[in-house]
Amino acid sequence: MFRRALNCAVVPALMLAAAGSGLHPAQAEEIPKAPGHRLVSQYDGAPATAAPLPGEAPPQHPHLAPNGRSGMHADAAGSATYPWSGPLGRNPEVRSEKIAALGGECATATFDSGGRLVTVCGTFAGFKVKLLDPGTLATLAEYQLPQRSSTVEAITSLDFSKIFKDTSGGAYFYLDDQDRAVLADSRQHILRLGHSRNPDGSWRFTVEDDWDLTQVVPHDCVGWTNLWPSGTCDPVTSVMPDWDGRIWWVTRQGRVGTVDPGTSVIRSVRLAGEEIQNSFSVGRDGVSIVTDHALYSFTTTPDGTPEVQWRETYDRGTGTKPGSVNQGSGTTPDLFGDGYVAITDNADDRMNVLVYRRAVDVPAGERLVCKVPVFGPGASTTDNSLISWGNSLVVENNYGYENPTSLLLGKSVVGGATRIDVRPDGSGCDTVWQSAVRSPSTVPKLSTANGLLYFYEKEPNFWGIDAWYLTAVDFRTGERRWRRLTGTGPAYDNNWAPITLGPDGTAYVGVFNGILAVRDTS
C-alpha cells in the first residue's frame, strides 16, 4: 500500500502558509535539482515496444471513477494496474511542479473526466486538495484541509518520526463516479468535494457533503489550541465505497465504519487492540481490510453495521522493521484472479507473500493457498501494495527506508522485486522472476497495455549524488528496459508516494517537494 506519503517538511514558519479555494492558473515552478545532476546518467537502456498483456481487468466499481482514474491503487480491487500505456522510453522528458518552499508532496493522483489531476499535497499548514493541469502541472484550484495533529506533535516534540508514521488526514482519498473527491480530514470528518469552473474561467472546489464522525470516533487530538489533550485521538486512515454506495472508513485504532450517503446514518464496530494503517479494497463480495494482526473480509448487517465474514491471522513478527510503519502487514489487500486476496506478512527473517481464497464458505484450514518467502534473510519488508494481474503478483522490497534522510549522500536500500504466480489449479504459487531493481519506497504500477512495470529507483553512488530514476521493467521477464533521470537530491525522493499513469501516457510521481511528470516526446 501507499505509506506515509504527504509527510512534509519540518520548518515551523511554514505553518503560516495559507491557501484559497480557487485561483487562476499559475505557471508551475520546477523542483530544484541538487548538485551532481549533470554527473550521472540521464537515460539508460532503450525504448520498449508495447506488448499488451492478456487477461481481464478488475471489475469496474459502480461508484468510483473509471479504473485507472479513481485512487492510489488504480481501482477498487487494489490491482495497481492501468488499461492504457505509460511512457515507452522514447526520448522521455521530465516536468515538475514545486508545491511549497519545503515539503509539498502530492501523493494520490486521480483524473477527472476532463483529464485534469485531482490530488492531495502535504504542506505544513495542512494538506491541500489540488486541481492540476495535466500538461503543465500548474495549479488550477486548491482547497485547504486542516493540519494533522502529528505535525503539531512533531514540531513541539522535535520528533519528526511522528509525521512519517501517520497515514491519516486525506492521503487515501478516492474520486467517485461524478468527479468528486471523497476523503477523511484530520478533524474526523468525511468530505465530498466537487470542482467546477467559474464564469471567469478559473476553477474552484466546493464542499458538497460533510459527515461528522466524532459521534463515534474519539477526537481529542493535539492542536495549537489543544497542546495537552486529556482524551483519545483516533485518526481516520482511509475511505472507500462498497458496491451498494455506502462509504466505508477505518481508523488507526481499529474502528471500521460506514456512512450511508443518502441518510447520513453512521455505523461502526471496533477491532480492539488492532491497528489499521493501510487502505482497503472492495469487491462485490465484500470489503477486505488488513490490520496489524489479521486479514478480514467484511460485509454489513441490514442497517449498515460492519460485520466480519471471516478473519485470518498472519505472522506479524516481533517488531517493526526499518521500512515499515508498524508491526504488521504493509499492504493494502489485492483482490485478484479466481477469487483470491493477497497481502504480505511481517515475519522476522523473511517476509512472505500470502494468498488466500476469499469466498465465505471456504472450509476451516483451507483458506491459505500459499505462503512464499521473498527477498534476503533479515532484510525484507514492504510498506506498499502488491501489483496483481491475472494470477500474478509483483512485490517490491522497502527494507531500510524510513524517510528522506535515510538515503542521503548516495545511500540506497537493498531493494529487489519479485513476481509470483498462483498455479492455474490453485494448488500453490511459484516464483517467476526476481529483479535487483532498487525502489526504496514507491507504490509501483503496471501498464497492461504495454507490459511494463514502473518503479522509482535509486542506486548507491560513490560520489554521494542522490539520483532518482523512473524505471521500466518487463512484466514478463523482470528485465530492466530503460530508466530516465528525474532529478537529484532529497526534493526528488518520492517518500512513499506512488507512481500514477495518466490516460495520456504520462507517468506522474509525487516527490518530497511536489509532483513530477515523465512523458515520451517521440
d(C-alpha 237, C-alpha 6), whole Å: 13
368: enclosing H helix or E strand: strand 368-373
Query: Is residue 118 within 8 Å of 133, Cβ to Cβ?
Result: no
Residue at grid coordinates 471523497: 182
CB 179: neighbour CB atoms within 10 A?
19
Residues written for the chain: 522
Tell me the pLDDT of the chain (522 aa) as tens digits: 444 444 443 333 333 333 344 455 556 689 999 999 999 999 999 999 999 999 999 999 999 999 999 999 999 999 999 999 999 999 999 999 999 888 899 989 999 999 999 999 988 777 899 999 999 999 999 999 987 777 777 776 766 666 666 666 778 999 999 999 999 998 999 999 999 999 999 999 999 999 999 999 998 888 888 888 888 989 999 999 999 999 999 999 999 999 999 999 999 999 999 999 999 999 999 999 999 999 999 999 999 999 999 999 999 999 999 888 899 999 999 999 999 999 999 999 999 999 999 999 999 899 999 999 999 999 999 999 999 999 999 999 999 999 888 999 999 999 999 999 999 999 999 999 999 999 999 999 999 999 999 999 999 999 999 999 999 999 999 999 999 999 999 999 999 999 999 999 999 999 999 999 999 999
CA distances (Å), origin 101, targets 32, 119, 212, 503, 517: 11, 18, 33, 30, 19
Looking at domain 12-519, does it have CATH number 2.130.10.10? yes
Residue at grid coordinates 518530497: 512
In the chain, domain spans = 12-519
Query: Is residue 273 within 8 Å of 264, Cβ to Cβ?
Result: no
**What is the SS3 assignment for 490?**
helix
Query: Is residue 130 within 8 Å of 107, Cβ to Cβ?
Result: no
